[in-house]
Structure 1
Amino acid sequence: MRLYTLLRVLVVVAASVLLASQPAWATKRVALVVGNSNYQNAPLLPNPANDATAIAATLKGAGFDLVESRLNLTSSDMRRALRDFADQARDADIAIVYYAGHGIEIDGTNYLIPTDARLERDTDIYDEAFSLDRVLLAIEPAKQLRVVIVDACRNNPFADTMKRTVASRAISRGLARVEPAVSNTLIAFAAKAGLTALDGNSKNSPYATALVKYIAKPGLDLRRAFGFVRDDVLQATGNRQEPYVYGSLGGEDVALVPKAE
């Protein structure tokens, strides 16, 4: 009987030690990172593939449960990537999509452009590109936080060459302002709506460089992280580029990486 009691005590102690050693922050975090540089029907973009690689490495280093990193996606590749990532987001607490490459705004809707797009006429956008709403749909099932980071506010070569099927259809510079329909969702643009972003003169764009510096800093609230990103980019570009974040969160701090105990 004494031996049985002793064994029970040892089991309880061992269980307590095991629980104490487990991380208190067990949130499941998943990310899809896309960098489109090698466009088949437009000039090469030097930095998106490098930027995506740097962001993916940062999130992997931060302990994300899944980081799906994809480069130079065609239309069919992007469709498959978004579909597969939606499955991953269903049982995730935090879901992030980072996209670097060409983007375009038509009639107030933002589109991400795959590498094989031709966009010979404005209506081709519906068949050959992916609306930002489609990306938001992929991460909508995440339980706590949804983030889309769009580094696609570059000068777009398709905008000047595509034929207009309707003269009144607006194709604007940069991307359009957007407000998430789902709570606890943030959409971060490399440049404010209607403005363009700079690639910079180094391996990574000023925006990606700042993201790598702050996005996975332990314990740093995500809103403050994006604020620091804004400050760094403004300084690096001589106030020519101002990143912007749309959407809102509640009063609690929300950090992508927990503060070390």
Structure 2
Amino acid sequence: MRWTAFILAIWLTAGLNSQSAAQNRVALVIGNAKYQNVPSLANPANDADAISALLKSAGFQSVEKVENLGVGGMRRAIRDFSDRTRDAEIAVIYYAGHGIEAGGVNYLVPVDAMLRRDLDVEDETVPLDRLLQVMEPAKRLRLVILDACRDNPFVKSMARTMASRAIGRGLARVEPTSSDTLIAFAAKAGMTAADGSQVHSPFTAALLKHLVIPELDVRLALGRVRDDVLKTTSGKQEPFVYGSLGGSIVTLASLSKDERMESAPSITDSDSLAARDYEATARVGTVDAWDAFLAKHPKGLYSDLARSQKAKLGVPAAKPSTTVKDVPDQKPRKKEKQNNTKSASGGTEVECCLAWYRRHYPGQTNIINACAARVATNTTPGFSYCSLKRGP
């Protein structure tokens, strides 16, 4: 009887350890934008912020985000990531920035690279093979995502010292030697990818939509990313995936079955609306615009990204403190009289603003509260939040 209990205890412990290991998902996110010797890139910092937030929301236990690293910093970050992959079930490395292919080998370019000669590539960059090496211990999936196929300015000025060594356009085709390894390029081998005119590159924007959908296999997710990018770039850019996985479903979203059932009906609609509003707000890029977005989308991945964008403008994203019920009953004080002047449609600006929002956003008190707080706390003569952002 004692032996039976002992064996049962070992079995239960092993089962719990196995379950814990299955949940161990780790990621390293690198965004290189501020290059010192060539023009900076517009999107990698935003892309890295967004992918980091996405993976955290998907249940990853460890997400390390680093930006604008020199060659020493990149090598250390990748080396340190190896400590977290030892017990990982799934390991992901995402890189946004410049990449280069030399002699059939792919390299990631740190921000301090000069690359005056083709001989400098090995000394001033980080080989893709190094990323694959540190991810080797991961048991179920090793995924490298490279938004690094941009048209490379280093190639145009690089002196050639070896006639036999080609410097390619884009990145070279790669075949992982380890099983259960996928490498996703923003564009197929030999082609370049667009940085994009929006807040995210076309490739990363598609990743944000599809990569961590609950119960969706990562291969299907990357297939949807490909289709999305082809559509948004009018067929000019085609992402490509190299490597292979086994026959079981591998998803990056670590929600429980019950959580998936609860969230699945609303994820697509709410995230799609938030994504559309986020892109529109980013084109404006002002504090007022981000405030309006956060009023409409106070929670979720895109609200976290919006707060990050607002913080870059040097203004913290404060939560509104004024409630709706306090505002209609307020009588204008002398010092605040300019904020409550009569509008063209009658009534104070506070009342008109609240009426507009109640009519167009019934029941959404967070938006109404933001409007009330914005008007009540502003001291600019004749100011109205609704007149600036929405109209009377």
TM-score for the superposition, normalised by structure 2: 0.60
In structure 2, what is the equivalent of residue 4 of structure 1?
none
Tell me the alpha carbon deviations over residues 117-149 of structure 1, each in whole angstroms, 9 at most, x when there is no partner. 011100101110011001111111111110000
Amino acid at match of 1:228: R
Which protein shows a greater Rg? 2
Contact 2:22 2:89 in 1 (8 A): no
Consecutive unaligned residues in structure 2, runs of 5 or more: 1-14, 258-392
In structure 2, what is the equivalent of residue 191 of structure 1?
187
Structure 1 residue corresponding to 2:82, chosen from 79, 83, 86? 86
Deviation at 1:25, TM superposition (A): 8.6
Pairs within 5 Å for 1:135-146: 135-146=131-142
More strand by share: 1
Is residue 216 from structure 1 mapped to residue 208 from structure 2 by the alignment? no
Query: What SS does the corresponding residue of 2:250 show, helix, strand or coil?
Result: coil
CA RMSD in angstroms comes to: 1.7
Greater relative contact order, per chain length (Cα 8 Å cut-off, separation 6+): 1
Deviation at 1:216, TM superposition (A): 1.0
- Distance (Å, rounded) in 2 between the aligned partners of 1:258 and 1:219: 9
Query: What SS does the corresponding residue of 2:162 show, helix, strand or coil?
Result: coil
- Distance (Å, rounded) in 2 between the aligned partners of 1:26 and 1:257: 12
- Distance (Å, rounded) in 1 between the aligned partners of 2:255 and 2:240: 25
Structure 1 residue corresponding to 2:246, chosen from 247, 250, 253? 250
More helix by share: 2
- Distance (Å, rounded) in 2 between the aligned partners of 1:259 and 1:117: 41
Deviation at 1:24, TM superposition (A): 8.5
Aligned residue-pair number: 242
Tell me the alpha carbon deviations over residues 15-34 of structure 1, each in whole angstroms, 9 at most, x when there is no partner. xxxx9xxx889420000000
Is residue 98 from structure 1 mapped to residue 94 from structure 2 by the alignment? yes
Query: What SS does the corresponding residue of 2:26 show, helix, strand or coil?
Result: strand
Structure 1 residue corresponding to 2:201, chosen from 200, 205, 217? 205
Is residue 167 from structure 1 mapped to residue 157 from structure 2 by the alignment? no
Consecutive unaligned residues in structure 1, runs of 5 or more: 1-18
In structure 2, what is the equivalent of residue 152 of structure 1?
148
In structure 2, what is the equivalent of residue 177 of structure 1?
173
In structure 1, what is the equivalent of residue 104 of structure 2?
108
- Distance (Å, rounded) in 2 between the aligned partners of 1:30 and 1:161: 38
Deviation at 1:165, TM superposition (A): 1.1
Is residue 29 from structure 1 mapped to residue 25 from structure 2 by the alignment? yes
In structure 2, what is the equivalent of residue 42 of structure 1?
38
In structure 2, what is the equivalent of residue 16 of structure 1?
none
Contact 2:59 2:255 in 1 (8 A): no
Amino acid at match of 1:127: D
TM-score for the superposition, normalised by structure 1: 0.90
Pairs within 5 Å for 1:123-142: 123-142=119-138
Amino acid at match of 1:154: R
Identity within the alignment, %: 60
Deviation at 1:230, TM superposition (A): 0.3
